[in-house]
Amino acid sequence: MSIHKAKKFYQELTPQQKHFVDTKTINTTLSIKHWIAFLKKASDFDEYVETARKTLNLRLTLYIILLIVSIFLYFVFEVYYGLLPPVVISVLIFHTARTKSEFVKRDINNYLRLFFMPILEAIHDKAGEEAKLSASLDFRDPFKAAPPAKSDYMRAGRKRNVSLYEHKVVIAGVTLADNSYLETALLDEIRTISYTNPRGKHKSKTKTMHRVFMRLSASKQVYTLNTPSSFPQRVEVSQDDNYHILKLKEKHKKEAYEILNPLTFFTSLGVLYTLLNPVVPLTGAA
């Protein structure tokens, strides 16, 4: 049963992993292999939690239906022992709701399972398991982590209320196998807009702006730069004595709240590498 597995899995986590599951944030430096080992358990637990919550939602729906039916039957037949089923079902609803609440508190943002873990696996291939990754991660619910910035504006003569949530999901840096140093950051700007339409009905919608920042410092001993005319506008290029420094800033808009597709991240990194030419053909470069 998924509920039992989720509870058992949580108890098997280390104290550090439990702390991460409870807070959903971490800021440290670890080798890639230790990052994967540490986060894989939390990721697996989150998958159990998601399945358990679906099961609990179905149970709550069923219990509520049974409660309504049992109360109806009590008033129809008017027998004193007819109160027993509603009482028993109410107790079941209470315990189920409490269990669900515990799982909700430990629910981790899907950015862990569906975004960061695939990126970790890719970095493992490009940097090696012993490479040190410094990262600040925030996998909390962005709508609950901090109060939003509120504002309003007029449109078609009606006021629209805006709540802006800023979610710094990932800030990280790692040295890759080709001796390049990759720094990246992902910031989500989530806007909820609420208003009343001409018919007097309350409406709301959510929009997400994914802001991706990358800085790739590529060793001059390993790479040369392409001609300046080939640089995309969203890429800024500079140099120091030892490195070609490529900075990329991108924005990706979504008409809902959703996580950034990791393929978008890999595509952005690929853009930077297309601007470099290896001095000697590489076997492990991105």
Provide the pLDDT for residue 3.
79
- The H or E element containing residue 66 is helix 32-77
Q: What is the pTM of this model?
A: 0.82
Provide the pLDDT for residue 83.
76
Mean pLDDT by 10 residues, the chain (286 residues): 76 91 95 95 86 87 90 75 82 88 87 94 93 96 93 81 95 94 97 83 91 95 83 86 94 93 92 88 49
| Cα separation, 79 vs 126, whole angstroms | 72
- In sequence order, what E strands does the chain have? 25-31, 132-138, 149-155, 158-175, 181-196, 202-219, 223-225, 235-239, 243-254, 276-278
- 212-233 pLDDT tens trace: 999 999 999 999 988 777 778 8
CA atoms within 13 A on the CB side of 222: 18
Provide the pLDDT for residue 80.
64
Provide the pLDDT for residue 284.
47
Read off φ and ψ for residue 114, nearest 5 degrees: -100, -10
- Give the CA distances from residue 194 to residues 86, 157, 161, 188, 254, in Å, rounded to whole numbers and listed in that order: 39, 14, 5, 19, 17
| Cα separation, 142 vs 144, whole angstroms | 5
Rg, Å, the chain Cα set: 25
Residue 208, Ramachandran bin (φ over 0: left; ψ between -120 and 50: alpha; else beta): beta
| Cα separation, 181 vs 77, whole angstroms | 76
Provide the pLDDT for residue 79.
66
Long-range contacts of 149-155 (CB under 8 A, 24+ apart): 155/195
